[in-house]
Amino acid sequence: MKKTFSIGGVHPADKKISAGCRIEVLPTPQTVYISMSQHLGAPATPVVAVGDKVKAGQVIGEPAGFISAYVHSSVSGTVKSIGPRPDLAGNKVTHIEIAVEGDEWADGIDLSETLVTEIPADNRFIIDRIKSNGVVGLGGATFPTHVKLTPLEGKKAEILILNGAECEPYLTSDYRIMLEKPDQIVIGAAIMKQVLGGSRTVIGIEDNKPEAIESVRTAISRLQAKSASYSGIEVAVLKKKYPQGGEKQLIDAVAHRQVKSMGLPIDVGAVVQNVATSLAVYDAVMKNRPLTTNTLTVTGDCLPADRQKNYLFRIGVPFSFIIEQDGGIPEGAVKVISGGPMMGKAISNLDATTVKGSSSVLYLTAEQTVRKPESNCIRCAKCVEACPMGLEPFLLNKLARNGMMDELEQNAIQDCIECGCCLYSCPANIPLLDVIRVAKGDVMRAIRARSAKK
């Protein structure tokens, strides 16, 4: 029997329309806008001035705290302005505007495609490379990778899990890199495994991607034949179920370990990284190449087949440029989403730029997005069945609407991963996630305020 997580989950149609499209390199626009807030934690501080000449791969933002990351220029050119600019949700974030001139890279960056398989022995060197090259988690949360790889006092990572589940419908960027760059992903995994000092590494891939499973398996055996440092890496085939790519769900599916409420994966000896992060780690450590590019899917039911794309884009390219390159917004699309249809965010401002974690431009039709009128809760408990965290969304909804903060906390609203399974499964179309997300924010703030007082 194939593995999957034990509680909850839903089965949306996977719609991997763009799966067969090879990764294409997106042209570079005239101007890019690089956000200083591309990672979880404190926004980076700009370290260039207006008028400066920058090269691709040059540091333009330095971390402004422990949980923060370096930001690099993805192009070469001149800094035109530094200032607030609306992000995809319209909120003002500091961006650095760079007018593109040529394509000159900073020194010390290996741009060749030759595969480097010799992993450096010095772990500190590896962590430094990951940090200085601005690698963050590309599975969605964009948590700085070097922080996750620095072991906490008294905690030991026994198992490294690579998330190749790509459980969100439509998205195919992880699938494409697993097909096209499997060796790099496996080497990245081996690097992280060495840093963590664990004995086991499992790459979890859902069973709707047999080619990816085959491709990664071949890469593993190829590398294992070469060097002993690749032992202990294996592929786990997972039964397709959303949200398998959730950190806690993936640990449950692969290692059958459950992270307790408010706990971290390291509490059960696990560290989870995305396959795209693994690729970024390979580039950072072996090639000294900063995280300045990523892969993004352009897809949607209403998009003609020849315009379905997987693009390798330079970070900081405006969404409007990508859409333009692909031939404009297709007929029938009423909503443009960045990220998957379950957890992605609607783009209210198409002039916003891509960030490290951007994974898609997804067009949705009116039929797919317009909400049906809400009716009364009939206590069918479909949301309870669907919740992968074992919560009771219908109850949380009631408590949240009445502002019962203590009861919300007792019912573990803070464990909600905002996957949207409850909303997806509700036959009464109750906006469960919308209400719960806001209430969760309030409860989290209250918890933080309380712990700050102590």
Partner 1 sequence: MTTTIIWTIAILTLLGVVLAVVLYLVAKKFKVEEDSRIDDVEKVLPGANCGGCGNAGCRAFAKSCVDAMNLDSNFCPVGGNETMKKVAAVLGLEVKEKAPMVAVVRCNGTCENRPKVNDYGGYSSCRVKASLYSGDTGCAFGCLGCGDCVAACQFGAIKMNPQTGLPEVDQEKCTACGACVKACPKNVIELRNKGPRGMRVFVSCVNRDKGAAARKACSAACIGCGKCAKVCPHGAITVENNLAYIDFTKCKLCKKCVAECPTGAIHAVNFPAVKPKPATAAAPASSAGPVSAHPAAGAKEAAVKEKPETKEE
Residues of this chain that bind partner 1 (CB under 8 A): 86, 89-92, 335, 345-346, 348-349, 369-371, 431, 434-435, 437-438, 441
Residue 138 Cβ vs partner 1, minimum distance, rounded to whole Å: 23
CB 287, min distance to partner 1, A: 37
Distance CA 95, CA 437 (A): 28
By beta-carbon proximity to partner 1, the closer residue of 50 and 438 is 438
The continuous run of DSSP H or E covering 279 comes out as: helix 275-286
Q: Which CB sits closer to partner 1, 86 or 151?
A: 86
Q: Which of residues 87 and 174 has its CB atom nearest to partner 1 in the complex? A: 87
Is the Cβ of residue 338 or residue 354 nearer to partner 1 in the bound state?
338
Q: Which is nearer to partner 1, 82 or 161 (CB)?
A: 82
Q: Which residues pair with 72 in a beta bridge?
A: 59
Q: How far is the CB of 431 from partner 1 (least distance, A)?
A: 4
Given strand 23-25, what is the order of strands in its sheet? 23-25, 309-314, 293-300, 360-365, 333-338, 345-346
Closest CB 149 distance from partner 1, rounded Å: 31
36, 43, 361, 369 from 63: Cα distances, Å: 9, 7, 28, 38
- The least distance separating partner 1 from the CB of residue 316, rounded to whole angstroms, comes to 21
On the 0-12 / 13-18 / 19+ scale of CB atoms within 10 A, 411 is middle
The answer to whether residues 80 and 31 touch, using CB atoms and an 8 Å cutoff, is yes
Euclidean distance between CA atoms 217 and 236, whole angstroms = 10
Our CA angle for 362, 367, 368, nearest 5°, is: 40
Give whichever of 187 and 343 is closer to partner 1, judged by the CB atom.
Answer: 343
Q: Compute the radius of gyration of the chain from its Cα atoms.
A: 22
Q: Which of 126, 131, 141, 147 is nearest to 70 (CA)?
A: 131
**Residue among 208 and 368 whose Cβ is closer to partner 1:** 368
> Which is nearer to partner 1, 194 or 349 (by Cβ)?
349
| Least Cβ distance, residue 192 to partner 1 (angstroms) | 34
Structure tokens at 280: 């970024």
Cβ 414 to partner 1 shortest distance, Å: 16
How far is 94 from 34, CA to CA, in rounded Å? 9
Q: Are 339 and 140 in contact (CB under 8 A)?
A: yes
Least distance to partner 1 from the beta carbon of 375, Å? 14
